[in-house]
Amino acid sequence: MELHVEGLSHAYGPLTVLDDINLAIRPGQILCLVGPSGCGKSTLLRMIGGLEQPDGGQVLQLSPPPTESLNPLTFIFQDFALLPWRSVAGNVALALEHHDLSAGERDGIIADVLARTRLSDFADVLPRQLSGGMKQRVAIARALAVRPAVMLMDEPLSALDAQTRELLLDDLVGLWTRTPFTAVYVTHNLDEAVRLGHSIAILSRRPGRVREVLDLDMPLEGRSLSDPKLAKARDRLWESMREEAQTADRELADV
Amino acid sequence: MTIITRRTALAGLSATATLPIIGAPAFGQTKTKTTVGALRFTSHAASFVAKERGYFDEAGLDVDFAFFQAAQPMAVAVASGDADFAVTAISGGLVSLAQKGATKVIAGALREEPGIDGQKILASDAAFQAGVKAPKDLSGKSWAITQAGSSFHYMGSKIAMAEGIEMEFRPLQKVGAIIGAMKSGQVDGWSIVPHIAKPLAGGGAVHIIGNVSDYLPDYQVTTVFTSKETAEQDEAKSRAFLSAFAKGAADFNAALVDKTAGDDAAEDMVKLVHKYVYTDRPYEKAKPSIVNGAMRISTDLNKASVKDQLNWFSSEGLVDGDTSMGVVVDERYL
Amino acid sequence: MSDSDFAKPVTYRGGGFKPVPVAWIGAAFLIALVIIAEIGTRTGIISALTLPRPSAVLETFAELYSSGLLWKHLFPSLSRLAVGAFLGAAVGIAVGVAIGLFSIARSALVPLVAAIFPIPKIALLPLFVIWFGIGEGSKYALIAFGTFTPTVVATYGAVDAVDRGLIRMAQSFNVPWWGIVRKIVLPGALPGILSGLRVSLAIAIILLVAAEMLGATYGIGAYILEAGSLYDLERLFAGVTILSLLGIVVSWAIGRLERRLLAWRG
């Protein structure tokens, strides 16, 4: 499914956070949104997913969502957002319970997504018993269960340590390679952006504007930071962001 | 070594009761400082008269009043030494305190007397409409009492015994709660001093269906009591208090009970009492209540009535152990 | 840097400030107090007016039990407690959740609850007698009313504290409104509601005595009040001990409930 962000603006009171954002989210591709902290990238993602209303502009859905999709716009959150009182399988089930599915169908979907995220052995485990990486895999399984048309990922790896992040990054690449999906991936981590992004949109510091969109025409699988082409792209991104990040850092976080 | 003082223990006992408001102490006299516990009722007038007319001063006592909201905490205050003398009905609590060696009754105070308007037997309007026109009609009905072993319990029980009927006793803790329950017909019968009974009956909320004195002639309603220590070791002080108290009582009786002192004296007496009682009401409104509430106050103790009350506590199982006269009353003072 | 003549272990200075419960000390302390009271009252150091003899209290308790009066007093009290606390807690939770969810309920009821909370419920007893009668009705009402306010406050606090991230997550999966309330808000608020219930039920026990002030012949509260008015310290302490035990039982029961319902907290 293709989405277009058109002239989107938003302000919190007198503070403009997003200013005339235009973006194309192309089917089967991952669009990374990077930018200094506080540039409004998470707000933008929530607007794309219909969790927040922009003051101006709109997000256009260019085609009807595929019929098999239960929840076309599906989020993955930075803090996992798992219900602590439900088991792994129960958390996945939450996304399915209000859909018209038989118990058998539902159990089938749960078993399938847990297998795809290698969580089958942990179906009955409570979230508190899981590591951060495992928790995020549960959240990914839950997202996959509703067969999303577009995945909206809000810094999904930020709460994890470096090693776990690396492993999960590989998992995401693997998932996409097996079945390409459409996604918007918000991050402040440029390594993640160049590893996962088919295109990378750089947002400027407040008020957030699209500074440039970089297309990376390389297959996701086998991307490595030791590849000079990727390293170069990363450096270019950093050059573009550096000044913004420095200024943003000195601003009072008085929002 | 006393690990816990009596005072703290008793303070705990009376924790639900309202704290006494103790007047500012006076300094610099050779007179014996004395604290008298009192309720703001006409029945406590003898002390007020003795204070106002200087009888306490003449007796060498420098008296301060400690005012209470209920008789129960006042008895505890005497036991704990916070008050030296007080006047209250002979309740189960008072007997129990006497048994524990805390208090002694040293004289009578308020009493029923044939021919003098005394405590009234009341029926709620609902009960009255349902046919309760006389005390005997209260058979199977409910009778309001403050607490088990209170004077209301005693009166109700004696009335029931005399009529050969059974009543259900409802403890309601406070006179105010009883009045509310009587007005709304939640309880059927009650007995109370005339200055409360008459205005209630006048309003039509309750009906007077008899006199307590018909059942308990010469009923010793309240008594003067003090701590056992004061009674036994400070006889001079106790006697001084009683003599002043008796003078106050005599003035009161002459002015408002026997009415032998003339209208002016009656007027003066009402004014004096009004300094302490119904202070929140204007004089004109307070006067009828004070006049209606006048019952004989006398330091003579009706031993027969006291004996009957003590026997009743014992037979009802309200108080265990020895309830003989000598335990409760210091008979040297009679 | 090393000076072998001076070598000595570093002084430990990190201890203290970490009280831990020692299992037997609580019981031992209590027993010691009782023994001191017993010796004191037996020797006469503590007068009979100050404190009853613990053994006499135990005797009174045994008498109460063997005469069957214990159940005669306990049963009406327990049923008043059960009915009153259930009504108060149920309505309190419902109102608390409504305040937590709806702007109108919040605006209308929060000031009202704040106004009702500090009213000593005992003061309203005469009014309750007029409204609900002198029988069980006013007793249920008093206990229910006293349990209601702290439950409301605890509940809407607990609903407010439910992780908004979880609610947003559910919205992102199109979970319907009622599903969010049932599957996220209520379970998320449960820990707060249960700890509020701990306080509410203790208040219910406190109010039991007040509730039995009016027109109750049987009941632990009536028993204590009667003992108090007769200065019968043995009965007073026996009654108070029953209330304490009741408090311990209720607290234990909620602890069990927490362990069952909140096992996910670990």
Half-sphere exposure of C203 (CA within 13 A, CB side): 26
Query: By the 8 A CB rule, do B274 and B291 touch?
Result: no
Provide the domain limits for residue C159. 54-265
Query: From the list A71, A85, A128, which residue is nearest C173 (CB)?
Result: A71
Question: Are the beta carbons of C130 and B147 separated by less than 8 Å?
Answer: no
Q: What's the pTM?
A: 0.78
A132 and A168 within one domain: no
Sign of CA dihedral A173, A175, A181, A183: negative
* Residue B27: pLDDT over 50: no
Contacting residues of C for A145, CB less than 8 Å apart: none
Structure tokens at B301: 């103790």
C180 and C159 within one domain: yes
* Residue C218: pLDDT over 50: yes
A178 and A140 within one domain: no
* Residue B3: pLDDT over 50: no
C213 and C143 within one domain: yes
**Contacts of residue C63, Cβ cutoff 8 Å, sequence gap at least 6:** none
Residue C135 DSSP symbol? T
Maximum CA extent, chain B? 63
* Percentage of residues in chain A having pLDDT higher than 90: 47
Looking up tokens 């039991």 gives C208
- The CATH number covering residue C211 comes to 1.10.3720.10
In a domain, C4, yes or no: no
Model pLDDT, residue A220: 83
No. of helices (H) and no. of strands (E), chain B: 15, 11
In a domain, A76, yes or no: no
Contacts of B among chains (3+ CB pairs under 8 A): C
In a domain, C5, yes or no: no
State chain A's mean pLDDT as an integer: 89
Q: Tell me whether strands B21-22 and B103-108 are parallel, antiparallel or unpaired.
A: unpaired
Model pLDDT, residue B281: 86
A140 and A111 within one domain: yes
C183 touching chain A per CB within 8 A: yes
Gap between the Cα atoms of B241 and B36, Å rounded? 10
C178 and C61 within one domain: yes
Provide the domain limits for residue A109. 83-147
C174 touching chain A per CB within 8 A: yes
Question: Are the beta carbons of C187 and A85 separated by less than 8 Å?
Answer: yes
In a domain, A77, yes or no: no
**DSSP calls for A168-198:** HHHHHHHHHHHS--EEEEE-S-HHHHHHH-S
The H or E element spanning position A115 is helix A103-116
> What radius of gyration, in Å, describes the C-alpha atoms of chain A?
18
In a domain, A75, yes or no: no
Gap between the Cα atoms of C102 and C94, Å rounded? 12
The H or E element spanning position C221 is helix C220-229
In a domain, A255, yes or no: no
Calculate the CA B163 to chain-centre distance. 25
Query: By the 8 A CB rule, do C45 and C220 touch?
Result: no
First to last CA, chain A: 35
Tell me which amino acid residue C231 is.
Y
C43 and C111 within one domain: no
Model pLDDT, residue A17: 87
In a domain, A133, yes or no: yes
A240 and A180 within one domain: yes
Structure tokens at C51: 């404190």
* Residue B32: pLDDT over 80: yes
- C150 vs chain B: nearest CA distance in angstroms? 22
**Contacts of residue B211, Cβ cutoff 8 Å, sequence gap at least 6:** B118, B119, B120, B121
pLDDT in tens, C99-129: 999 999 999 999 999 999 898 888 887 788 7
Confidence of residue A252 (pLDDT cuts 50, 70, 90): low
Question: Are the beta carbons of C47 and B6 separated by less than 8 Å?
Answer: yes
- A85 vs chain C: nearest CA distance in angstroms? 5
Contacts of C among chains (3+ CB pairs under 8 A): A, B
Confidence of residue A224 (pLDDT cuts 50, 70, 90): confident
Tell me which amino acid residue A34 is.
V
Contact exists between B and A (3 or more beta carbon pairs < 8 Å)? no
In a domain, C23, yes or no: yes
Phi, psi dihedral angles at C23 (to 5 degrees): -55, -50
Structure tokens at C153: 């406050």
State chain B's mean pLDDT as an integer: 86
In a domain, C206, yes or no: yes
- B260 vs chain C: nearest CA distance in angstroms? 40
Confidence of residue B25 (pLDDT cuts 50, 70, 90): very low
Phi, psi dihedral angles at B121 (to 5 degrees): -95, 130
Q: Tell me whether strands A182-186 and A30-34 are parallel, antiparallel or unpaired.
A: parallel
C4 touching chain A per CB within 8 A: no
- C149 vs chain B: nearest CA distance in angstroms? 22
State chain C's mean pLDDT as an integer: 90
* Residue B15: pLDDT over 50: no
Adjacency order of strands within the sheet including A210-215: A73-76, A150-154, A182-186, A30-34, A199-203, A210-215
Query: By the 8 A CB rule, do A1 and A150 touch?
Result: yes
- The CATH number covering residue A223 comes to 3.40.50.300
Q: How many domains does chain A have?
A: 2
Query: By the 8 A CB rule, do B74 and B88 touch?
Result: yes
* Residue B155: pLDDT over 90: yes
CB-based burial label for B112 (10 Å; 0-12, 13-18, 19+): buried
Chosen domain end from A147, A170, A193:
A147
C176 and C137 within one domain: yes
- C60 vs chain A: nearest CA distance in angstroms? 48
Structure tokens at A238: 């950093």
Model pLDDT, residue A253: 57
Contacts of A among chains (3+ CB pairs under 8 A): C
C140 and C27 within one domain: no
Gap between the Cα atoms of C170 and A75, Å rounded? 10
Contacting residues of B for C130, CB less than 8 Å apart: 180, 184, 186
Q: State which residue of chain C sits closest to B186, comparing Cα positions.
A: C134
**DSSP calls for B21-76:** EEPPPP-S-SSEEEEEEEESSGGGHHHHHHHHTTHHHHTTEEEEEEEESSHHHHHH
- C225 vs chain B: nearest CA distance in angstroms? 8
First to last CA, chain B: 36
Query: By the 8 A CB rule, do B220 and B158 touch?
Result: no
Q: Mean of the pLDDT values across residues A128-139?
A: 92
pLDDT in tens, B35-72: 999 988 888 999 999 999 999 999 999 999 999 877 77
Structure tokens at B217: 């002639």
* Residue B274: pLDDT over 70: yes
Question: Are the beta carbons of C176 and A71 separated by less than 8 Å?
Answer: no
In a domain, A74, yes or no: no
Query: By the 8 A CB rule, do B254 and B233 touch?
Result: no
Query: By the 8 A CB rule, do C145 and C152 touch?
Result: no
Q: Mean of the pLDDT values across residues A52-59?
A: 91
* Residue B334: pLDDT over 50: yes
C128 and C45 within one domain: no
What does each C-alpha distance from A99 to A71, A77, A105, A111, C179 come to in angstroms? Answer: 10, 22, 11, 17, 12
The H or E element spanning position A34 is strand A30-34
Q: Give the start-end residues of each E strand in chain B.
A: 21-22, 32-39, 61-68, 85-89, 103-108, 120-124, 142-145, 168-171, 189-192, 206-211, 222-227
> To probe the interface with C, which of A53, A70, A85, A152 has the most C CB atoms within 10 Å?
A85
C137 and C59 within one domain: yes
Gap between the Cα atoms of B4 and A167, Å rounded? 70
Among A29-38, A183-192, B4-13, where is mean pLDDT lowest?
B4-13
Give the residue, A205 or A133, on which the prediction is more confident: A133
| Cβ-count burial C176-201 (b if 16+ within 10 Å, e if not) | eeeebbebbbbbbbbbbbbebbbebb
The H or E element spanning position A215 is strand A210-215
Q: How many domains does chain C have?
A: 2
Calculate the CA A20 to chain-centre distance. 21
Question: Are the beta carbons of A83 and C168 separated by less than 8 Å?
Answer: no
Within 163-182 of B, beta carbons closer than 8 Å to C belong to 168-173, 176-177, 180-181
Contacting residues of C for B5, CB less than 8 Å apart: 50
Query: By the 8 A CB rule, do B191 and B132 touch?
Result: no
pLDDT in tens, C238-256: 999 999 999 999 999 999 9
- B160 vs chain C: nearest CA distance in angstroms? 18
Q: What angle do CA B297, B303, B304 make, to 5 degrees?
A: 110
Domains of chain B: 6-111+220-333 (3.40.190.10), 120-214 (3.40.190.10)
Gap between the Cα atoms of C175 and B250, Å rounded? 86
Confidence of residue B22 (pLDDT cuts 50, 70, 90): very low
Question: Are the beta carbons of C265 and A49 separated by less than 8 Å?
Answer: no
Question: Are the beta carbons of C214 and B4 separated by less than 8 Å?
Answer: no
Confidence of residue B93 (pLDDT cuts 50, 70, 90): confident
Chosen domain end from A106, A125, A147:
A147
Question: Are the beta carbons of C214 and B177 separated by less than 8 Å?
Answer: yes
Phi, psi dihedral angles at C93 (to 5 degrees): -65, -45
Query: From the list A51, A98, A129, which residue is nearest C172 (CB)?
Result: A51
A154 and A34 within one domain: yes
C40 and C61 within one domain: no
Q: Taking Cα atoms as reference points, which of A245, A240, A220 lies closest to residue A230?
A: A220
A242 and A153 within one domain: yes
The H or E element spanning position A44 is helix A41-48
pLDDT in tens, A175-185: 899 888 899 99
Structure tokens at B289: 């209540």
Among B8-22, B307-321, C131-145, where is mean pLDDT lowest?
B8-22
| Cβ-count burial B156-188 (b if 16+ within 10 Å, e if not) | bbbbbeebeeebebbbbbbbebbbbbbbbbbbb
**Contacts of residue A237, Cβ cutoff 8 Å, sequence gap at least 6:** A34, A190, A193, A194, A200, A202, A214
- C187 vs chain A: nearest CA distance in angstroms? 8
Q: Taking Cα atoms as reference points, which of A171, A166, A184, A167 lies closest to residue A141?
A: A171
Query: By the 8 A CB rule, do B295 and B193 touch?
Result: yes
> What radius of gyration, in Å, describes the C-alpha atoms of chain C?
25
Q: Mean of the pLDDT values across residues C174-184?
A: 94
Tell me which amino acid residue C114 is.
A
* Residue B19: pLDDT over 80: no
Among A26-35, A242-251, B205-214, B217-226, where is mean pLDDT lowest?
A242-251
A125 and A50 within one domain: no
Query: From the list C133, C222, C231, which residue is nearest B93 (CB)?
Result: C231
Model pLDDT, residue C23: 80
In a domain, A73, yes or no: no
A244 and A127 within one domain: no
Gap between the Cα atoms of B267 and B279, Å rounded? 16
Question: Are the beta carbons of B6 and C49 separated by less than 8 Å?
Answer: yes
In a domain, C1, yes or no: no
Residue B124 DSSP symbol? E
Question: Are the beta carbons of C264 and A126 separated by less than 8 Å?
Answer: yes
